[in-house]
Amino acid sequence: MKSGFVALVGRSNVGKSTILNRIIGKKISIVTPKSQTTRNSIQGIYNSEDCQIVFVDTPGIHKPKSELGIKMDKQSYSSIRDCDLAVFVVDASKEFNEGDEYLFEHLKFDCNLMIVFNKIDETNIELINDLKKRYIDHYNPIEVLETCGLDGFGIEELISKIKNHLEEGPQYYDVTTTTDKDLSFRVQEIIREKMLLLLKEEVPHSSTVKCELINTDEFPINIFAKIIVEKESQKGIVIGAKGKMIKRIGTLARQDIEKMLGKHVNLQLIVQVVENWRNSSRFLVDLGL
């Protein structure tokens, strides 16, 4: 069979996680309109009769401003180093700017590279032609494709092009496995997604979630998780007036977790302040970064 590791790389918010979820056909990686949603490299495993592709979704590469940012970039760079093929996702709806220039300078590929222009539903011919010219001149990719992560346009073609470029290899995972991440991680990510959706940018970016207990033998399944913030004032925002905000986060997260597990869940959330956790190496190791 053909197999290989394929890294999905690019800037934040271009649609990498959306594309991964489309390819696998379920939610492997959380998606929000906010930048820096994905913090860890997450594998999504695609299986067909004669092929296994291990996609590695990466945090968007950016100019890091904290230890967390440095660690996120490191995860992305090392995923690129370790892959057989890289898929560089570009937002086709935005004009080329300094952020893209930063990637041109910092992102080098030793492996074969495909470039995917995503969000073609929101672009126009001049813009996409300009982007294509710049990216093709700079990176000399083996394939250039257009996709729309929202409706799945171009995804089949992307998979088939990737297959063409992979070589014979082992089956890395059994066919029932769709991700390398465990249940705790997926629960933490779902809670973080709800915070990103419900709270203003700064608070979720200063927060993280740690699952302290999951008991899948019980009915309903009992889950206890901590939301960690940096300041007392952020704790107040996450809890909200009369506890309304944390209740909303908890309800939306519980619904998604129940959908994922197909079972009833009792989700208990608490908020804890850990000053400056984003710059604490010990803390980041604890979170698998």
Ligand X SMILES: Nc1nc2c(ncn2[C@@H]2O[C@H](COP(=O)(O)OP(=O)(O)O)[C@@H](O)[C@H]2O)c(=O)[nH]1
Residues 194, 209: Cα–Cα separation, whole Å: 11
CB of 16 to Mg ion, least distance (A): 5
- Residue 33 binding result from ligand X, Mg ion, none, given CB thresholds of 5 to 8 Å by partner type: ligand X
- The candidate with the shortest Cα–Cα distance to 193, out of 158, 283, 185, is 185
| The residue to which tokens 């092929």 are assigned | 51
The mark string for 126-165 relative to ligand X (x by CB under 6 A, - otherwise) is ----------------------xxx---------------
3-state DSSP percent of the chain in helix, strand and coil, to 5: 40, 25, 35
- Beta partners for residue 143, in sequence order: 114
Residues 140, 115: contact at Cβ < 8 Å? no
- Candidates 40, 41, 118, 179; binder of ligand X (CB under 6 A) is 118
58 forms part of the interface with Mg ion (CB under 5 A): no
Site for ligand X, residues 204 to 223, rule: CB under 6 A: none
- Residue 59 binding result from ligand X, Mg ion, none, given CB thresholds of 5 to 8 Å by partner type: none
60 forms part of the interface with ligand X (CB under 6 A): yes
The mark string for 10-39 relative to ligand X (x by CB under 6 A, - otherwise) is --xxxxxxx------------xxx---xx-
- Candidates 62, 119, 161, 235; binder of ligand X (CB under 6 A) is 119
- 144 CB burial (10 A radius; 0-12, 13-18, 19+): middle
- Residue 116 binding result from ligand X, Mg ion, none, given CB thresholds of 5 to 8 Å by partner type: none
| Residue span binding ligand X (CB under 6 A) among the ranges 7-15, 192-200, 245-253, 259-267 | 7-15
- 232 CB burial (10 A radius; 0-12, 13-18, 19+): exposed
103 forms part of the interface with ligand X (CB under 6 A): no
Site for Mg ion, residues 7 to 26, rule: CB under 5 A: 16-17
Residues 117, 128: contact at Cβ < 8 Å? yes
**Structure tokens, 107:** 């992102």
Residues 244, 22: Cα–Cα separation, whole Å: 33
- Residues engaged in binding ligand X (CB under 6 A): 12-18, 31-33, 37-38, 60, 118-119, 121-122, 148-150
